[in-house]
Chain A
Amino acid sequence: QVHLAQSGAEVKKPGASVKVSCKASGYTFINYYIYWVRQAPGQGLEWMGWINPNSGGTNYVQKFQGRVTMTRDTSISTAYMELSSLRSGDTAVYYCARERWVDTAMLLDLWGQGTLVTVSS
């Protein structure tokens, strides 16, 4: 059964960093990009970037450049998203999602359960 399992909720102080993990199971991890999407309380979905688990290549939204780092450990089929210099506006649920292609259509067909990150002094 294909599954993405994320790490648990975090509470961080402003200025700190957080690292969220996303463990894949039931499929070949290196064959599918992992996207990171966040959702502030009561708000919509915001794409942050992706990582190619095979090469480690990344693509970040310009808004997060310099603050976000996406990595992976292929030995344990796990992707990571680290966000630094946290501020209150980073309080959100962070999701990982698997990218898949059907012909020329891109879709995010598998999502983690989400990780709530709360930034508070």
Chain B
Amino acid sequence: EIVLTQSPGTLSLSPGERATLSCRASQAIRSGSLAWYQQKPGQPPRLLIYGASGRATGIPDSFSGSGSGTDFTLSISRLEPEDFAVYYCQHYGDSPPVTFGQGTRLESK
């Protein structure tokens, strides 16, 4: 079973700064199987990145994904107030088909 470990657990930054969030898989995974979601309080998750680096429809280009093998990164180039939220990585594989990381909380300093 693939386990996704996200770090840091909480990231405190100021608007305008750059955010770098990590997702590490317990074994090498196919890049096409890695996605990132943003979740704000009281809302469902929102798809940001699919296939490790593809930006979902309507997602600003300040969001970017990268990585391969076991290490994947979500970057936000310049934080806006609305970017402070919880971010999850998600893997699609064989058994189980879907696993989520535990999340990284991005909070405003």
A residues whose Cβ falls under 8 Å from a Cβ of B:
35, 37, 44-47, 50, 59, 61-62, 95, 97, 102-109, 111-114
Chain B: interface residue total (CB-CB under 8 A): 26
Determine whether the beta carbon of A103 is less than 8 Å from that of B51. yes
Q: Taking CB as reference atom, which chain B residue is nearest A47?
A: B98
When the two chains form the complex, which single residue of B51, B100, B103 contacts A105, counting CB atoms closer than 8 Å?
B51
Contacts of B37 in A (CB 8 A): 45, 108
A44:B47 contact, CB within 8 angstroms: no
| Residues of B that sit less than 8 Å from A by CB | 30, 32-33, 35, 37, 39, 44-47, 50-51, 54, 56-57, 88, 90, 92, 96-103
- CB-nearest residue of chain B to A95: B44
CB atoms of A50 and B97 under 8 A apart: yes
Taking CB atoms, residues of chain A closer than 8 Å to B45 are 37, 45, 95, 97, 108, 111
Q: Which residues of B contact A50 (CB under 8 A)?
A: 97
What is the CB-to-nearest-CB distance from B53 to chain A, in angstroms, rounded to a whole number?
Answer: 10
Q: Do B44 and A59 touch across chains, with their CB atoms under 8 A apart?
A: no
Contact with B54, one of A47, A102, A112 (Cβ below 8 angstroms): A102
